[in-house]
Each structure stands twice: as structure tokens, then as C-alpha cells.
Amino acid sequence: MIHETAQIHPSAVIEDGVKIGANVTVGPFTYIAKDVEIGDGNEIMSHVVIKGPTTIGKDNRIFPYAIIGEECQDKKYNGEPTRVEIGDRNVIRESVQIHRGTVQDKGVTIVGNDNLLCVNAHVAHDVVIGDHTHIGNNSILGGHVTVGDHAGVMALSAIHPFCTVGAYSYVGGCSAVVQDVPPYVLAQGNHATPFGLNIVGLQRNGFEKPELHALRRAYKEIYRSGKTQAEVKPVLEEMAKDWPSVGLFLDMLNHTTRGIIR
């Protein structure tokens, strides 16, 4: 079903069963396969490929040569009807690839709201991207990666499968991340190591000095106190009573499977 206000270029190929909402534009030579649902207000430019099952929310901008919902590059994938879910107001630039999930995990690759995915970024199977993230040019998110809200992964960086990039963290360009990046942390290098807090990003997102001081103390407990993680956790629990944001550090220490960067 295609809404009457949608503008579809005559050269675009839209298979039967596609749902396209109001005020959507589809550019020339774009291909949209069956089992795709596109919400209102999306701008889909030329030469885009969208396969399903895929759902796309509202007011996204999808630039030329982006490929969404294609089969994943996992050898275990055997044609199962896994899917992609994309939220609202994302900017998906040229040649970005977003692959479907696998039945061995969640079966879905998720991109939240208000994200910027830059040229040729690769979002592999079962990745979960939160809201307000920045995924840089030619960056690679391996399978099963999680990127928290307001995080940044800069150009030419690669995130190893099953790693987590915590909320408000920042991975500098040309980095190789093979363990989890805690929230709020600035990481850089091959292999990536921590370089303190992402102060600029935190300030831009409204963190005030008292809270920044609390996060800095938590960072020092983790990285500079000489304590084990078991010894650090009770300290963070006490701090989190006054500063709930410290709880994100604690959540990562409690749930990491690959360990945190050191």
C-alpha cells in the first residue's frame, strides 16, 4: 500500500506488498523489496536498496547507494526471515550498509532515533544502536555490537563483535575496539585504551560540573585506584545513590562479557 501523497520516481522498483506512508519521496533507480514498511515523511534518494523484513520509522533521510535489510555476512545465516528495525529522524549517508539479524541472536538489527550514520559505515547483524549516536565514515560495527545513546564511533574505527560502546563514550578515529568501552569514556588506539572522560561530549549534553566531578571520581576508582573490579563495585554503588549517572559504570562492570578496555 502506497499513500497517495508519496512521490515515487518512475524508474524506482517497488515490489508488491511494500507499505509506504504519507509524504515519502523515493528517488530514481531505488529498489524496495516486499516485506518493507516505510513510515511518513521519509526521504529516500536515488539508487537505494531496501530489502525486508524491514521497518523504517518517520522523517529519515537515506542517501544514495545505502543498502538496508540485506542478508548478513554471517556464515551461519541460512535465509531465515530475520529483520531490520529503524526508528525516526536518522540520517543514513551514502553507501551505508545495515544487515539483517540472525536467529542465533535477537533476529533483528536495530537503529534507534536521531542517529547520524556517515558514508560507508557498516552495521552488521544483530547490532543495536541507541539514540543520538554518531557513526563515522567507513567505521565498522561487527556483529552483535551495542552502541549506547549519545556515543560516537569516529571514522575508520572497527568495533569487534559482541563489544559494547557505552552511552556518551567517544571512540576516536582509526581505533580498534576489542573490549567494551565504558560509558562516558574517551577511547583511542589499536587496541583502544581509555584516555579519561569524554568531557566535551558530556558538556554538550548538559552535564554540569558537580556531576562531571562525580563521574571523574568514578573513573579514577575504575582505572587509577589499583583496586580490583570486585573492590570497585561497592564504591560505585555508594556513589550511585547520590549520582544515578554513575550507575552506568556499574551496569557495564556487572554485565560485560569481554571485559572493559584497559
Catalytic residues: 125-126, 143
Backbone torsions φ then ψ of 196, nearest 5 degrees: 90, -165
DSSP type of residue 40:
T
H/E stretch holding 241 = helix 229-242
CA 255, CA 262: separation in Å to the nearest integer? 17
CA 163, CA 66: separation in Å to the nearest integer? 24
Residues β-bridged to residue 122: 97, 140
- What residues contact residue 170 under an 8 Å CB cut-off, 6+ apart? 151, 152, 154, 185, 186, 187, 198, 201
* Contact assessment for residue 128 and residue 147, using Cβ atoms and an 8 Å cutoff: yes
H/E stretch holding 195 = strand 192-197
CA 109, CA 86: separation in Å to the nearest integer? 8
* CA-derived radius of gyration, the chain: 20
**CA of 233: how far to CAs of 156, 197, 218, in Å?**
34, 19, 10
Structure-block grid coordinates of residue 209: 560540573
